[in-house]
Amino acid sequence: MKFKLIYFGDIFVNPKKRAQHIADIRMQFHPQLKKLVEHSPWDNLTKYMLPDASKAPLITRHVGGIDWNPIISPNLNMIAELDILMLHPEIVGVAHSDIDNRIKTLLDGLRCPQNEHEIGGNTPTNIGPIYTLLDDDHLVTKITVNTSHLLTQDMFKCSEKPSPDSIFMLIDVNVRVTEGTLENLPFMV
């Protein structure tokens, strides 16, 4: 099963407030993933997610007083392959583009926080469960990254002016099942 995620914004390599930066990244993916589970076959996941879970295995994590609903969970024997197109304002091949550390930051933003210290003070607590792509980043078995120069940021209508370091990413997610079960049968297509 495949789907796409979009990200536009900053991805800092070593931010001073790392947990808050990761939370900002997470919150860009939350509405996309919440919308995904409204459509077939992804709506089958809601049976295993709080607040209305009706079947086992439960995939919701409870960390720091917040319920986190990952789309890809080891409880359903699912893994992911990511194909990332990263467009950034730096000229391709310039040493300060630091792609490997940006990918590490992105992966942290795609997964559930593992403890309270990873949540970030700016994470909303009153919106219900927060959707993440991954339960944990060890569920990613393949990453492909293509980079290119972002020629303009004018096409992105943002409430605030984008920083000159803003990155646009198109992430192709390929979800694979590691072991077939009745719970993950809808995702084996």
Task: Please give the tally of structural domains in the chain.
Answer: 1
The distance in angstroms from the start CA to the end CA of the chain is 6
pLDDT at 91: 64
Look at residue 38 in the predicted model and tell me its pLDDT: 96
C-alpha–C-alpha distance, residues 129 and 70, integer Å: 10
pLDDT (0 to 100) of residue 21: 94
Q: Which pLDDT value is given to residue 84?
A: 97
Phi-psi region of 152 (alpha: psi -120 to 50; beta: other; left: phi over 0): beta
pTM above 0.85, yes or no: yes
Domain containing 161 equals 2-187
Tens of pLDDT, residue by residue, the chain (189 residues): 899 999 999 888 877 889 999 999 999 999 999 999 999 999 999 999 988 888 889 999 999 999 999 999 999 999 999 999 998 876 666 655 678 888 999 999 999 999 999 998 889 988 999 999 999 999 999 999 998 887 776 666 555 666 766 889 999 999 999 999 999 998 887
Distances, alpha carbon 110 to alpha carbons 34, 95, 144, 160, 171, in Å: 13, 26, 16, 23, 11
